[in-house]
């Protein structure tokens, strides 16, 4: 049996190798024909490989923890294009090779929506990478041209690249060039970007000062894109105020 287990592992039949007694017991209990036993083993392998593939995509996506879309309060924003967001959750833009830009002030849920859309893509079998703008720029800003080329290529490969929080920080005058080098090959390959920003495009010069490529960068980002504006007050601030009032009432009692 130990030899058989090793042979199954060598063939890549990991689920069968790890649980060999189970299909054999089912075959004995239900008096399965040889073909039915093989079909049982194949179903188990397919299910296990799908599970492991999903785990790998989740890990590589770097999504981290997030609240599900069921927890999103659609009534909180003063303005939100719910039909467009729901189409994005169905991955329509990804299948069409389009970009999606979520624009709105801090705290109205752009990151939560982005992560839920990205998670739907992971579940559907797409490769996904989620990074804040600061993380992405720190990653590609290195001295070695060859290492920079490899890192930029790594951001070109995923079916969906999510760049969160553009506009939260200011960058040096080379940052826009680096971001352009990430966006342009994706534009040429029609690979989707999901971007969230708290600044209108006309204000991007403020976070990328003296950048000569900013107009071209925005042109590449928005050429095949849905741009949607979310307006409203910070949901996080509302939660903090609600928690403060609740604590105050408890202290009074």
103's enclosing H/E stretch is strand 99-103
Average pLDDT, rounded, for the chain: 91
Task: Give the residue from 202, 149, 141 showing the smallest Cα distance to 173.
Answer: 141
Specify whether the CB–CB gap between 133 and 165 falls below 8 A: yes
pLDDT (average), residues 174-196: 95
DSSP SS3 for 227: strand
Q: What tokens appear for 122 in the block?
A: 């992971």
Residue 2 pLDDT class (50, 70, 90 cuts): low
Domain regions of the chain by residue span? 2-60, 69-237
Number of Cα atoms under 13 Å in the Cβ half of residue 234: 10
Integer angstrom CA distances of residue 18 from 3, 22, 30, 38, 164: 13, 9, 21, 16, 40
CATH number for 69-237 (one of 3.40.50.970, 3.40.50.300, 3.40.1360.10, 3.20.20.70): it is: 3.40.50.300
Query: What pLDDT sits at residue 193?
Result: 98
Task: Give the residue from 179, 183, 233 showing the smallest Cα distance to 208.
Answer: 179
- CA dihedral (110, 111, 117, 122) in degrees, to 10, reads 170
Specify whether the CB–CB gap between 169 and 136 falls below 8 A: no
Specify whether the CB–CB gap between 216 and 208 falls below 8 A: no
pLDDT tens by residue, 46-103: 999 999 999 999 999 999 999 999 999 999 999 999 999 999 999 999 999 999 999 9
> Of the segments 84-93, 203-212, 234-243, which one has the largest average pLDDT value?
84-93
* Whole-number Å distance between alpha carbons of 66 and 113: 10
Q: Which residues contact 250 (CB under 8 A, 6 or more apart)?
A: none
Residue 43 pLDDT class (50, 70, 90 cuts): very high
* Whole-number Å distance between alpha carbons of 117 and 137: 23
Residue 169 pLDDT class (50, 70, 90 cuts): confident
Phi and psi at 154, nearest 5°, equal: -65, -30
Query: What pLDDT sits at residue 243?
Result: 60
pLDDT (average), residues 35-54: 92
Residue 109 zone, left/alpha/beta (φ > 0; ψ -120 to 50; rest): left
Integer angstrom CA distances of residue 124 from 43, 56, 94, 137, 241: 19, 13, 11, 28, 38
Residue 25 or residue 243, greater confidence: 25
Task: Give the residue from 120, 97, 118 showing the smallest Cα distance to 188.
Answer: 97
């Amino acid at each position: 049996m130990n030899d058989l287990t090793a042979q199954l592992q060598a063939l890549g039949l990991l689920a069968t190798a790890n649980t060999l007694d189970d299909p054999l017991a089912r075959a004995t209990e239900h008096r399965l024909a040889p073909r039915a036993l093989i079909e049982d083993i194949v179903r188990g392998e397919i299910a296990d490989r799908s599970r492991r593939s999903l785990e790998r995509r989740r890990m590589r996506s770097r999504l981290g923890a997030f609240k599900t879309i069921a927890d999103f309060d659609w009534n909180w924003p003063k303005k939100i294009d719910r039909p467009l967001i729901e189409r994005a959750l169905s991955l329509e833009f990804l299948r069409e090779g389009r970009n999606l830009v979520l624009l709105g002030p801090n705290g109205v849920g752009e990151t939560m929506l982005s992560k839920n859309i990205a998670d739907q893509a992971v579940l559907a079998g797409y490769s996904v990478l989620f990074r804040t703008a600061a993380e992405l720029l720190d990653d590609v800003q290195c001295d070695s041209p060859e290492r920079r080329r490899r890192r930029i290529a790594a951001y070109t490969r995923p079916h969906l690249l999510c760049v969160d929080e553009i506009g939260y920080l200011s960058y040096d005058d080379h940052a826009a060039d680096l971001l352009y080098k990430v966006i342009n090959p994706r534009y040429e390959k029609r690979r989707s970007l999901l971007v969230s920003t708290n600044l209108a495009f006309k204000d991007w010069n403020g976070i990328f000062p003296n950048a000569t490529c900013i107009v071209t960068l925005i042109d590449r980002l928005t050429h095949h894109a849905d741009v949607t504006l979310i307006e409203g007050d910070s949901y996080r601030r509302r939660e903090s105020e609600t928690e403060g009032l609740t604590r105050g009432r408890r202290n009074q009692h």
